Amino acid sequence: MPGGLFGWPGSSRPTWGGGEEGWEVDDIVISGISNTPFPETVADAQTCAAPGVLSTAAGTPQSAPVGAAFGQSLRVRLLGAGGAALAGRPVSFTAPGAGASASFAGGRVQTQVSTDANGYAETAVTANGLMGDYAVTATAAGGSASFTLRNTVAPVGTGGLAGGGGLLSVSGPSPSGAGTVTVTVQSAAQALPAHAYFSQAGFNTTIDAGVPPLAGRSFPFGLVSFVLENVGAGNSVRMRLDYPSAVPAGATYWKYGRSTPAGVLHWYQIPIVATGSSWVEIDLIDGGQGDSDGLKDGRITDPGGLAILAAPVAPAGAAPIPLLSPWSLGLLVLCMAWLGGRRRRRG
């Protein structure tokens, strides 16, 4: 070793441990070099590890009426290298500071929660007083995750978050004036949560619903327009539609909207999976068949209705053939009989 550079304090000396242990050194003094401390102290080995992987575990996407608590807490999971859960790590949740947003305990728009032994952290959240879509962001150990939330109007109908017990259902008058139309959620591929609800429901003509007419067909009971919240992303829901009178023979169900997220708005037919004397059942899929926005966002939007072939329309320029009144028709018969008699006498 270079003399004067390394020294052994006191009686400390390097010793041979024998076997595979090698040399053992207790203390080394380096002289001639200033003892400048490190600028930062590393608390533990995990601080130097690669950024953690933070992902959402529950609570997205979902909706809540303005001023109400969301049905699910916002939940994330934090994993480290090799997929190991990171416990005791702080996770920050942040909501927008303006516009449609949500608040945490104490009305704050930001909160911090530590992960549990399995790497999970969660917090309850409440919609503020403004309607709209927004995102809440969670960050921890260099990772981030986002929750898609929506504030809506108060629930309509009965069942679910609307209360009243029973199945989710909405009713309204048929625009034809024939009676009441009722829409009921019969079942779902994945059971709907208790906080599912209808946020909108309308029973209109195509004009009132703001959609173009369906060529060659008419809607004897009008259209049903609704928004069903918190069905679960990509879930399939079976809907029953009860009408005030018998379902016409040959009737089919038609839907207006996008059949894919990037598709154009258009009319397309939905298969009727079951039917009775005055009701039909159809399947609607979040982000797929029967969902107007074509997005897997946990909500199903629908204008659609039961259609029949429209009465034929006379071509442009055609004029109706006038018909004789019964009195004129009788007079014409008498005249023809008189003319026929004269011709026989002459013959």
Q: What is the mean pLDDT of residues 81-94?
A: 96
Q: Which of 83-97, 100-114, 211-225, 307-321 has the lowest mean pLDDT?
A: 307-321
pLDDT at 100 over 50: yes
User: Which helix H or strand E contains 267, and what residues bound it?
Assistant: strand 266-270
pLDDT band at 75 (very low <50, low <70, confident <90, very high): very high
What pLDDT was estimated at residue 259? Answer: 77
The total number of residues shown for the chain amounts to: 347
Please, which residues bridge with residue 282 across strands? 239, 272
Structure tokens at 202: 């309308």
182-235: per-residue pLDDT in tens? 999 999 999 999 999 999 999 999 999 899 999 999 999 999 999 999 999 999
pLDDT band at 294 (very low <50, low <70, confident <90, very high): confident
Residue-range domain boundaries for the chain = 51-152, 160-309
Q: What is the mean pLDDT of residues 224-250?
A: 96
In terms of pLDDT, which residue wins out, 231 or 20? 231
User: How far apart, in whole angstroms, are the C-alpha atoms of residue 162 and residue 154?
Assistant: 8
pLDDT at 42 over 50: no
pLDDT at 22 over 50: no
pLDDT at 25 over 80: no
pLDDT band at 15 (very low <50, low <70, confident <90, very high): low
Span between the terminal Cα atoms of the chain, in Å: 156
149-173: per-residue pLDDT in tens? 999 999 999 999 988 888 999 999 9
Q: What is the mean pLDDT of residues 37-47?
A: 49
pLDDT band at 19 (very low <50, low <70, confident <90, very high): very low
pLDDT at 109 over 70: yes
What pLDDT was estimated at residue 318? Answer: 53
User: How far apart, in whole angstroms, are the C-alpha atoms of residue 10 and residue 167?
Assistant: 85
pLDDT at 105 over 80: yes
User: How far apart, in whole angstroms, are the C-alpha atoms of residue 168 and residue 193?
Assistant: 11
In angstroms, the Cα distances linking 194 to 35, 61, 72, 191 are: 65, 15, 10, 9
Q: Specify the CATH superfamily of domain 51-152.
A: Immunoglobulins (2.60.40.10)
In terms of pLDDT, which residue wins out, 324 or 86? 86
User: How far apart, in whole angstroms, are the C-alpha atoms of residue 172 and residue 170?
Assistant: 7
